[in-house]
């Protein structure tokens, strides 16, 4: 079981599963394309207390069109730290995946900054 995933890897995977480009996502959530690009390439992490995660989850969920994509989301969901499935909707699973990756990435970034890496 994979316990942690960086936000960049997580977002890249979710975009791939759903067939959404960086440009489409940035237009959908009305932010600059370069910001989403920095998220996908690990240069930035969305801050806590913003609507980005909810907006991304909602948009990705709308683009899951078949059971193969749903199965990929489920597999990703069960690799996270919180694998219990208590009837979460697909959108909620995507949100949990992103939140877990966001938290791990922010925590990991603070460690690197503290230790000078």
Does 117 fall in a domain? no
Place of tokens 């699973």: 93
Residues in the chain: 117
Q: In terms of residue numbers, what domain contains 92?
A: 7-110
Q: Is the CB of residue 45 less than 8 Å from the CB of residue 53?
A: no
Domain count, the chain: 1
Does 116 fall in a domain? no
Query: Residue 4 and residue 20: Cα distance in Å, rounded?
Result: 23
pLDDT of the chain, 117 residues: tens digit per residue: 446 889 999 999 999 999 999 999 999 999 999 999 999 999 999 998 889 999 999 999 999 999 999 999 999 998 876 656 678 999 999 999 999 999 989 888 766 554 444
Does 115 fall in a domain? no
Query: Residue 71 and residue 49: Cα distance in Å, rounded?
Result: 29
Does 2 fall in a domain? no
Q: 45-71 b/e with 16+ CB inside 10 Å = b?
A: bbeeeeebbebbbebbbebbeeeebee
Domain containing 72 — which CATH number? Answer: 1.10.260
Does 87 fall in a domain? yes
């Amino acid at each position: 079981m994979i316990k942690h995933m960086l936000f960049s890897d997580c977002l890249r995977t979710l975009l791939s599963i759903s067939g959404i480009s960086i440009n489409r996502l940035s237009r959908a959530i009305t932010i600059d394309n370069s910001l989403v690009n920095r998220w996908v390439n690990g240069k930035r992490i969305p801050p806590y207390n913003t609507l980005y995660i909810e907006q991304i989850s909602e948009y990705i969920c709308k683009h899951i069109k078949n059971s193969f994509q749903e199965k990929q989301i489920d597999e990703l969901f069960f690799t996270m730290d919180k694998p219990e499935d208590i009837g979460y909707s697909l959108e909620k699973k995507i949100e949990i995946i992103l939140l877990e990756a966001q938290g791990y990435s922010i925590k990991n970034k603070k460690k690197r900054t503290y230790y000078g890496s």
